[in-house]
Amino acid sequence: MPRNSVLACGAALALLAAATFAADKVPSVPVHFEKGSSSASMKGSLSGYDSVEYSLGAKAGQTMTVKITGSSNANFNVFAPGEKPGASTAIGTGSVGTDWSGTLPKSGDYTIQVFQMRASARRAEAVPFTIAFEVR
């Protein structure tokens, strides 16, 4: 095989590998409560290794409750202000049928990451969900 053909095949394989290992989708969605309300609910969907990060402002000492319904593969983690998924430890976790509620340690924007576990992500399963937030 001519040298140029070998180089072209190698370049094509490198591009294919890069596309295969492309970054997962991680949209960031701000959560806003209607005036006079202390709760909000949002629908979403993800698949494979994608996740969704919701951001929600709250004050130290308030109580946050997070509930998720939909696919049994939907899970979530709650991160304190300044903490990020993949770099920090979550202050709370939950899944369908397992809500999380806790007193917030500091004021700022909390991140709630919705994801699915690796076994179902590997199969690229679709995960529709509804997530509800309450802060009092």
Delineate the domains of the chain, giving CATH numbers in brackets: 24-135 (2.60.120.380)
Q: What is the pLDDT of residue 18?
A: 41
Contact 20, 14 (CB under 8 A): no
Question: What pTM did the predictor assign?
Answer: 0.81
Q: What is the pLDDT of residue 2?
A: 55
| CA–CA dist 99, 84 (Å, integer) | 21
Contact 29, 41 (CB under 8 A): no
DSSP 43-96: EEEEETT--EEEEEEE-TT-EEEEEEEESTT-EEEEE-TT--TTTS--SEEEET
Please give the average pLDDT of every successive group of 10 residues along the chain, which has 136 residues: 46 41 78 96 96 97 98 97 95 98 98 96 95 98
Q: What is the pLDDT of residue 3?
A: 52
131's tokens: 């997530």
